[in-house]
Amino acid sequence: MTASRRYWLLKSEPDVFSFEDLLASRGKRTGWDGVRNYQARNFMRDDMQVGDGVLYYHSRSKTPSIVGLARVTRGGHPDPTQFEEGAKGFDGSSDPKDPRWFQVTIQGVEVLPQPLSLGDLKEEKSLADMALVQRGQRLSVQPVGAKEWRRVLQLGGIKGDPTGS
């Protein structure tokens, strides 16, 4: 039996790495490196699987919004930047034989025709359970329920599910 598909929301500051940057990357793919939070690490290491759907969220922007869809193309594997001396995410105490930090690889799929601002999302009663709209929520890798996923795609002007197989 195959594990069922899951859904996630990934935050990125557009000044650092925007959804457009993802689409402009080779194969529209990137390693989601640099995450240094244990809860987010655990999701990537233990739960994110090839084929999972991803909502791409721009944080710390003028209008923080879900702006695009992506998919997971590689599950949890060690984040190489933890071993790169001088790199921003360098962690000298991480053992290469037992790495502390993990990443996944994602691939950009489609820009949301109708981007959904945080304000929009907060007004949407059917999305009240989303982690994103909870007060004080800072987690940069969040699980998203199947119901919320479908609703976000619908509100975002997406027909069907282009991240599905």
Partner DNA sequence: GCCAACGTTGGC
Contact residues for DNA (CB under 7 A)?
A: 11, 13, 36-39, 59-61, 64, 118-119, 135-140
Q: Are 41 and 140 in contact (CB under 8 A)?
A: no
CB of 156 to DNA, least distance (A): 17
Pick between residue 5 and residue 68 the one whose CB is nearest to DNA.
68
The nearer residue to DNA, 88 or 164, going by C-beta atoms, is 88
* For DNA, the closer CB: 13 or 21: 13
- Whether 102 and 78 have beta carbons less than 8 Å apart is answered as yes
Q: Shortest distance, CB of residue 59 to DNA, whole angstroms?
A: 4
Residue with tokens 């489609």: 110
Give the strand order in the sheet containing 141-144.
29-31, 102-117, 65-78, 53-58, 7-12, 141-144
Specify the DSSP element, H or E, that contains 146.
helix 146-155
Which phi and psi (to 5°) does residue 48 adopt? Answer: -80, 130
Compute the least distance from the CB of residue 18 to DNA, in Å: 14
Q: Which is nearer to DNA, 60 or 147 (CB)?
A: 60
Q: At its nearest, how many Å lie between DNA and the CB of residue 85?
A: 17
